Amino acid sequence: MNSRGIIYCSVILCLIQLCLSSCAEDDLKKAARLSKKVALNVDRTIKVDIIYSDSAKVKAQGFAPVLDKVTPANGAVYQEMPKGVKINFIDEQMKIKGSITSDYAIMRDTEKTATFRRNVIVVNEKLTFNTEELVWDQNKKMFFSPSGVITKADGTVLNAVDFSATEDFNLINWSNGNGETYIPDGFGK
């Protein structure tokens, strides 16, 4: 064997020794524990059209380009709409009475909540509400948002903080806010 072959063999043996010595038993145990924590089962549906009903009456119809039903290892199932969602609210005559759109949404089954994020717009016959986050609590039948802008048909614009509203947006509340409103002629007469 020539000196060149001996050098190559020595270099290869050194590299193998270096690779083997960098693997510690503890690191492998940590990696195994981590892989157990992030085990997910994801079912993806494309072009989703969902009907929501209560007491056999259609209340809403939702559309999402992508719906991922995620079941983590701990069993807390949730549905994620990473490419956005649009939900139309339906009245008793099956006409659209309002809508919510957002660029992202997540529905948590165990908590019975839906969180809408990024470019959230709520529209009904009385107002338009823009925010970056809106949470629907199905148990309380209420919507909540840390802040947002309310625009009414008469031109009123309000910046609302700690916003809450009933499911139909007929009753809205906020704790702090400012804005501009228009008072009709003859108000208070």
Which residue spans within the chain are E strands per DSSP? 40-54, 57-72, 78-81, 85-90, 96-102, 104-108, 113-124, 127-137, 142-152, 157-166, 172-173, 176-180
pTM for the model stands at: 0.72
Digit-by-digit pLDDT tens for the chain (189 residues) are 565 666 655 556 555 555 555 555 555 555 555 555 555 677 788 898 888 888 888 888 889 999 888 888 777 888 899 999 999 988 888 899 889 999 999 999 888 999 999 999 999 888 899 999 999 998 999 999 999 998 888 888 889 899 999 988 888 888 887 888 777 777 777
Q: Are the C-beta atoms of 172 and 158 separated by less than 8 Å? A: no
